[in-house]
Each structure stands twice: as structure tokens, then as C-alpha cells.
Amino acid sequence: MLTSLKGKSVIVTGGSKGIGRGIAQVFARQGAKVTIAARNEADLKSAANEMGGEVRYEICNVADWASVQGMIDSTAEAQGGLDVMCANAGAFPQTKMIDMDPSEWDEVMAINLKSSFLCVKASIPHFEKAGKGRVVLTSSITGPITGFPGWAHYGASKSGQLGFLKTAAMELSRYNTTINAVMPGNIYTEGLQDLGQDYLDTMAASIPLKRLGVVEDIGNAALFFASDEAAYITGQQIVVDGGQIIPESLEAIDEI
Ligand code: NAP
């Protein structure tokens, strides 16, 4: 049983859908005050209404400094400070390099990697004021551990988040703040659904636990990193993937 996060002020970027929504739901169930942030207001509104608990929303583009800073400052004002920043929003367009416009590379880097820096930078004054804080990044197995055709930019951005994490952990220690990353395998979300049923079926068959993850699987890992019990863990990452990265070959899966 983790120490309660009741009343804690939490931000989850990309909280209107998928993994971010799962993270927000897990924190809201714990009694935390949660702000979900994304671009589409209709999605934010319905997610906040459906989730129950103390959930509000902010419209924000995580690739834009002014937007991120404004979102974090107004959330801190509304929720009486900031305890936990979950920098989760991300995009994964699948395009092989031969067809990839360089502008798509830049866009994926901005949404997935630059956003981690912007979210941390804008949170620092609030952690400094509180004398403590927690950051949880959503990275991926794709990039740091595995590869998949079409995701060169995505994989680079997700590895980049882990590179960022190490120095960020050192700089944030000064504010008694930890930063860690969750590395999901294939989690069933709206974004993943767009890749088609064939992709989902093939993926599930290649995972030792024989299913895709659910968004709460990632939410629970984020909750642990945000808890008092994780106070001495920083600059680290955890894979949450049903064993997906373990098999040496297709034959190894067939042997199960
Ligand atoms: P999703 O279902 O497509 O949801 C993405 C969320 O991010 C939405 O709320 C979206 O809302 C928001 N978002 C996207 N671009 C944004 C921007 N520029 N500014 C603000 N919000 C933005 O995706 P997901 O599958 O939950 O993925 C969430 C995170 O998990 C990503 O970082 C992804 O890389 C990571 N991940 C996912 C999986 C998986 O299997 N699903 C596996 C490994 C890692 P708006 O479009 O309205 O802005």
C-alpha cells in the first residue's frame, strides 16, 4: 500500500486520451487534484467529465514554451501548487525514412522530446517553492530498446527522453525533486488503435503475457514514482511491457 496521494496537485499532459488518461484516472482515484492538458478541448472536456474525482483541464500544446508555461502556472494557481508533473503527451506517426519529410522529424522531436524539457523547466519554480517535487516521463521501449520500421524519429525522441532524464535528475535534486521514466510496451490506446487490427493482433501474439497492456498498467507505475515510497529513486526507468522485450526469437514465443 503506497502512501496516499490524496490532495496532491498533479498535471498529466496528453491526459485526454490513452495512457495519459489512464495515468490521470489512477491519480484521481487516489484523491489527487488532477489537471489534464492537451490541444483538443472537446476531448479534454469529455475526459474530465467522465473520469470523476477532482479533474480539470487546460488547453496546451506541449511543443510550445509559452503554452506549457501558461498551463503549468495557471494549474499551480488553481490547485494550490504543483506536486507531480507527468510529461506524457506524445505522437507516433509511422513513416519510413525514404518517405519522411524532414519537417515530420522536427515535429515528432518537438512533441515528444522538447516537450519533456519544457514541462520540467516550467515546473521548476513551483517545485522550488514547495521544496519538493516529482516528474514522471512517458518514454517507450521503442527507441531505447527496440526498433520498428517507420519510427526512426519516434525512437530517437524516446531515447532522447532518457538521455535528458539523467542530467535532469542531477539538476532537479537541488529542488528535492525526483524524475523517472516509464517505458511502455504496446498499450491499448486510441493512438495504437489507429495502427489497425492486424498490428494489434500480431503484437499481442508476440508478447509473453499474450495481451497488450492497459492504460492503468502505466498509471500504476507512474503512481509508484510519485509516491513517498519512491523518494530515493531518481534518474531511472522502468519497462512495463508484459515481457515483450524478452523473447530471443519467434520460436521462443512458440515454446511458451
Ligand atoms: P494517444 O492515445 O494518441 O494520446 C495522445 C495524447 O497526447 C492525447 O491526449 C493528445 O491530445 C495529446 N497530444 C498529442 N500531441 C500533443 C501536443 N502537441 N500538445 C499537447 N498534447 C498533445 O497516445 P498514447 O498511445 O496514449 O501515447 C501517450 C504516450 O505514451 C506518448 O508519449 C507515447 O509515445 C507513449 N507510448 C505509447 C505506447 C502505446 O502503446 N500506446 C507505447 C509506448 C509509449 P491532442 O491531440 O488533443 O493534443
pLDDT tens digits, one per residue of 90-124 = 999 999 999 999 999 999 999 999 999 999 999 99
Model pTM score: 0.97
Q: How many domains does the chain have?
A: 1
CA distance 226 to 213: 21
Flag whether 139 is in a domain: yes
Cβ of residue 23 lying under 6 Å from some atom of ligand 1: no
Looking from the CA of residue 36, the nearest atom of ligand 1 is 9
CA proximity to 11, closest of 66, 89, 64: 89
Give 26-83 pLDDT, tens digit per residue: 999 999 999 999 999 999 999 999 998 999 999 999 999 999 999 999 999 999 999 9
Helices 65-79, 115-130: axis angle to 10 degrees equals 30
Strand ranges of the sheet holding 33-38, from the earlier edge strand across to the other edge? 54-59, 33-38, 9-13, 84-87, 133-138, 177-184, 237-240
Q: Is any ligand 1 atom within 6 A of the Cβ of residue 116?
A: no
Whole-number Å distance, alpha carbon 182 to ligand 1 midpoint, is: 14
Q: At what angle do helices 215-226 and 18-29 cross, to 10 degrees?
A: 50
For 148-174, how does the pLDDT look when each residue is reduced to its tens digit (9 = 90+)? 999 999 999 999 999 999 999 999 999
Instruction: Please report whether residue 135 resides in a domain.
Output: yes
Q: Is residue 169 part of a domain?
A: yes
* Catalytic positions: 154
How does residue 3 score in pLDDT terms, banded at 50, 70 and 90? confident
Binning the chain into helix, strand and coil, the percentages to the nearest 5 are 50, 15, 35
The pLDDT tens digits of the residues spanning 55-68 come to 999 999 999 999 99
State the Cα–Cα distance between residues 129 and 51, nearest whole angstrom.
30
Answer whether 17 contacts ligand 1 (Cβ < 6 A): yes
The pLDDT of 132-148, averaged and rounded, is 98
CA distance 224 to 217: 11
Range of the domain at 42: 9-188+214-244
Give residue 244 CA to ligand 1 midpoint distance, Å. 20
CB of 144 sitting under 6 A from ligand 1: no
Please report whether residue 203 resides in a domain: no
Does residue 197 belong to any structural domain of this protein?
no
Tell whether 107 is covered by a domain. yes
How far is residue 60's CA from residue 235's CA, in Å, rounded to a whole number? 26
Lowest mean pLDDT across 107-116, 125-134, 146-155, 195-204: 195-204
Q: What is the pLDDT of residue 161?
A: 99
Q: What is the CATH number of the domain that holds 70?
A: 3.40.50.720
Write down the pLDDT at residue 250.
84
Domain contains 200: no
Radius of gyration of the chain (CA): 18
Q: Which residue lies with its CA nearest to atom 39 of ligand 1?
A: 187
pLDDT for residue 1 is more than 80: no
Q: Which of 85, 189, 240 to mutate to test the pocket of ligand 1 (most atoms within 8 A of CB)?
A: 189
Ligand 1 lined by 36 (C-beta under 6 Å): no
